[in-house]
Structure 1
Amino acid sequence: MEYDVIIAGGSYAGMSAGLQLARARRKVLVIDAGERRNRFAATSHGFLGQDGRAPDDIADDARTQLLAYPTVKWVSDTATHAARHEEGFIVETTHGQRYSARRLLLATGIIDELPAVQGLAERWGQSVFHCPYCHGYELDQGPIGSLATSPMSLHHALMLPDWGPTTFFTNGVFEPDPEQMASLEQRGVTVVAEHVERIEGEQANVVLASGGVIAIAGLFVLPRTRVASSLAQTLGCTFEDGPLGAFIQCDPMTRETSLSGVFACGDAAMPFGSVALAVGDGVRAGSGVHRSLIFQTHP
């Protein structure tokens, strides 16, 4: 085998896993095309020691540190196909390259599927967000909106008043029952059932079907998510249904998938995600892969 481990995806989780393996002096190949989930955001928050930094700067520093280890190689490409081969795996890329390794770690991330509301996608990561812990504080207690995408959005709406006065736009997607309405009232949430026509303005002003406009400092949305790569599916890994979309099922400690020798970490392997959670999950996965190289004989 050419490498001990191939890591498909070199964002925060993939690099964190790679660092553990590099420090164990294992031969690691990272294949990554630079499409991080948070590339739309100007700053990243809630990650201890990196709070308020640009995502590009955090990732660039991490990559520099990782590549300082002589056993790590980085390929700027996308892993498009993987298959078991002899004592490991063969991975192919968009540019037609083939690499082999004893273990495969999937850190491919996810894709956010936003609701089809005009003006929403253009503001994603700037004034439209999914995580209040990541972006709520910077709204400086200004008016906040929560746009319903499923019943799960109720949880979002109940959280958000800690960051500012909150309006819950149910948009025909979800109708709170009397008990839920009482909870929203107790939290001081204003409920607007009228259809949302579009989002406009410098921030994220909500234009209703009647023509009315509600000015807000930031809008929170829980998008549906899907794993960004088909590798896990084509390999036959088991998926688990989460509240926002399916994710790769893994052992909670080792992060090994249902397919022996294949591991996963980061947003693709969790029901919820953030930079800090991804980095921590990468540590678990990297050490899990390393232990499998020592103590197990598969694949």
Structure 2
Amino acid sequence: MIQLYDVDLKLLRVFETIVRCGGFSAAQAALNVGQSTISEQMTQLEARLGVKLCQRGRSGFRLTEQGVAIHEATQRLLSAVEAFCMDADVLKQHISGTLNLGIIDTTITDPDSPLPSTTQRFVARGHDVHLSVYVGTPSELEERVLDGRLHLAIGHFPFRVPGLNYSPLYQEALGLYCGRHHPLYGCEADDDELQRQIAASKLVARGFMQQSDLELVGANRAAATVDNIEALAILIISGAYLGLLPRHFAARWVDSGDMRPLLPERLAPSASFDAITRRGVAPPPILRAFLDDLASSARHA
């Protein structure tokens, strides 16, 4: 029995095109190859099948008896392949079940986040999809992906945990801010002096990024720590602390005058956002579908 491989399907498609066009010469344009290449491909196919498929020469092109039978079988095969691809596309587009997704807080205002468009693509696949969304700190999200409570999570993960896959998505711009009632709000000092005053001020740091926050502003210790961005913003608005915020999240208070960025050209870090999944575990179809949509949205962002 003949075993078919990818190359055989390719040669059979060439054969079907030749027959449909009525000969080697006429098929050149459709196949975008020269006549010598077509002739070589037909020779390969005949060798694979062990039969003479057609007569070609000055008398013109015509199928042999075996060629007619092979052509009919080829049409049935290619129709079946096309039907399979269509069925697979339908199955790919229509996914059912529950997807457990984890995200960090305050990403709703980030114009670079691919999550809104990803969700739209994903939900459009079918009506049997249920999203379960958990908001947590980076370490909480990593723990829940590791133990299987979450299929995946999206956020800023400053450390790499064994057992997880990290797929880069985008960069989030950060800035250092003070509230309206902070002594540095109306400071007109030059950049170097302002930098010294910042280092001497009380800083609220993100618990999961405390060391890097301190190093960025040149401070020795944090006067307060938080585990989410909303709490950080509350302490900055109080006027008692300086702190780093995502620029997209701080924009509303900058516009209202309740916050001011400090040294925005000098203190302009960014945070890498990744999608994390559990390593060594075959993803279920619903997760594969979401990851495909996430990749598409990230490419077009």
TM-score if structure 2 supplies the norm length? Answer: 0.27
Larger radius of gyration: 2
TM-score by length of 1: 0.28
Q: Which has the higher helix share?
A: 2
Higher strand share: 1
